Amino acid sequence: MTRERFDGWILGTGTTSGTRLVLGHWPRSPLGAVSDVMVERADGHRTLLAQTAELADFVAATYSFDEVRVVDVAVGREAEHWAVDAGPLRLRVRAGRRPGLGWLLRAVPPPLARTPAWVGLLDGPAQLLTGLHTRGSAGNGRTEWYGVQDLHRLRTVSASWDGAPLGGLARVDPPVRFGFGSVPAEPSVVRVTTTVDVP
């Protein structure tokens, strides 16, 4: 196995049109500083927007999509404001407060929170509390761990696709179907280290 680590943020939100969006913003990764957006429309069509062909290949080998596009992905972040331009997608987000779970996650020392053994121990409690997995089997024999270290709820969302509005903030409901788990149903952004074992 080769162990790859992506360190950054995952932002997940629904929209009132039924489209759900998951941004992965990775300032530190084996592929350099990269970002991608996973999009699931209300009809279930799943699209990956990836910044580079190498990132597209890695993500598409780990998750499931109906369509993969390599596009320019620009992510700007200033305080609680996020701006994402990714091919046909325009996304503007304002993050809000840190809920109790966020404070609990921040209490864990980051070196421990990133460790796959620790993340694996949290999988059962996380599933009971949130319905989400922290560890699971990904595509092509890969295993993945999500070491979450902070969480903020989202306050506002504005999104469009090819200029057509996708609507405002909504829950991620139904859950997205890219891999073994979804993002939280409540729109949020998490500080995370994702570790992937690749055969």
Q: Which residues contact 118 (CB under 8 A, 6 or more apart)?
A: 108, 112, 147
C-alpha gyration radius of the chain: 16
pLDDT at 129 exceeding the cut of 80? no
d(CA 76, CA 128): 34
Instruction: State the pLDDT at residue 124.
Output: 86
Instruction: State the pLDDT at residue 123.
Output: 86
Strands (E), 53-174: 67-70, 73-78, 81-86, 89-95, 135-137, 143-161, 164-167, 169-170
Mean pLDDT across the stretch 133-148?
A: 91
From 60, 90, 65, 88, select the one nearest 75 (Cα to Cα): 90
pLDDT at 73 exceeding the cut of 90? yes
Give 172's Cβ-side CA count (13 Å radius).
25
- Residue 111's pLDDT band (cuts 50, 70, 90): very high
Domain count, the chain: 1
Instruction: State the pLDDT at residue 128.
Output: 80
Task: Give the tens place of pLDDT for each residue, 43-62.
Answer: 999 999 999 999 999 999 99
pLDDT at 103 exceeding the cut of 80? yes
Supply the pTM of this predicted model: 0.94
- Residue 17's pLDDT band (cuts 50, 70, 90): very high
Task: Give the tens place of pLDDT for each residue, 179-199.
Answer: 888 899 999 999 999 999 999
Instruction: State the pLDDT at residue 22.
Output: 98
Residue 48 belongs to what domain range?
2-198
